[in-house]
Chains A and B, each alone.
Chain A
Amino acid sequence: QKEVEQNSGPLSVPEGAIASLNCTYSDRGSQSFFWYRQYSGKSPELIMFIYSNGDKEDGRFTAQLNKASQYVSLLIRDSQPSDSATYLCAVANAGNMLTFGGGTRLMVKP
């Protein structure tokens, strides 16, 4: 069974700090990796995706992928209270079926 694991948190960081969110996956055939943000009571929204090993930056967000270690991470620089949410890691396999981790709850304290 394909698994995606995340620490459920909460991860608490002060405003302005870097938040580091981690995710591991079990299926070596996984091809695409996504980070979704989900506010309480809302639907997931895509914030980053990454396909290749290395780093990908988009504004305050950086996704990192290490396929050899089966590890994906998301860094949020200059964290803001509005970043407080649950972050879901998702892995796509053939047919665009997503397998999600349980999510990490991030709390950014002013």
Chain B
Amino acid sequence: NAGVTQTPKFQVLKTGQSMTLQCAQDMNHNSMYWYRQDPGMGLRLIYYSASEGTTDKGEVPNGYNVSRLNKREFSLRLESAAPSQTSVYFCASSETPSTGDEQYFGPGTRLTVT
């Protein structure tokens, strides 16, 4: 049981390049989330998926797109990377979208955009 896995662990992009961050969970959870964490700041929600087939914007969605590929997988795409998107990206999942349901976090992807 791996929990929440993310690939890649590290990535360096040039401004304008695109890439997709992958996230998968093996806990049969219904809800999945993408956060970013900048130095000295807490995590901020980018997008979430309450259940398979649904996605919604979080606090900072601009510049990102997501796909809930199936119940296990939730990907985050940067179409045209900008230096402001340099951050650590965490994927999380919870059993349900009910308020207060514990979220389990993946190990993170460290992205640098030059």
Whether A46 is near chain B, meaning CB under 8 Å from some CB there, is: yes
Interface segment out of the listed A63-71, A72-80, A85-93:
A85-93
Interface with A: B14-22, B69-77, B79-87, B103-111, which one?
A: B103-111
Q: Which residue of chain A has its CB nearest to the CB of B44?
A: A100
Q: Across the interface, which residues of A come within 8 angstroms of B90, CB to CB?
A: 43-44
Known: A43-B105, A43-B107. A98 touches B40 (CB 8 A): no
Bin chain A's interface residue count: 20 to 34
Q: Which of B95-109 contact A (CB under 8 A)?
A: 96-103, 105-108
CB of A49, distance to nearest CB on chain B (Å): 7
Task: Give the size of the chain B interface in residues (CB under 8 angstroms).
Answer: 27
Q: CB-CB < 8 A to A88: which residues of B?
A: 42-43
Residue of A nearest to B43 (CB): A100
Complex Cα distance, B35 from A99, in Å, reads 10
Q: How far is the CA of A80 from the CA of B90 in the complex (A)?
A: 27
Partner of B99, one of A4, A8, A31, A42: A31
- Dominant SS at the B interface? loop
Complex contacts, A46 vs chain B, CB 8 Å: 102-103
Supply 17 A–B pairs (Cβ within 8 Å), ascending by A. A32-B99, A42-B108, A43-B107, A46-B103, A88-B42, A95-B50, A95-B99, A96-B94, A96-B97, A96-B99, A96-B101, A97-B58, A98-B43, A98-B45, A99-B42, A99-B59, A100-B42
Chain B residues close to A by CB (< 8 Å): 31, 33, 40-45, 48, 50, 56, 58-59, 90, 94, 96-103, 105-108
Give A residues with C-beta under 8 Å from B: 4, 6, 8, 31-32, 42-46, 49, 51, 88, 90, 92-103
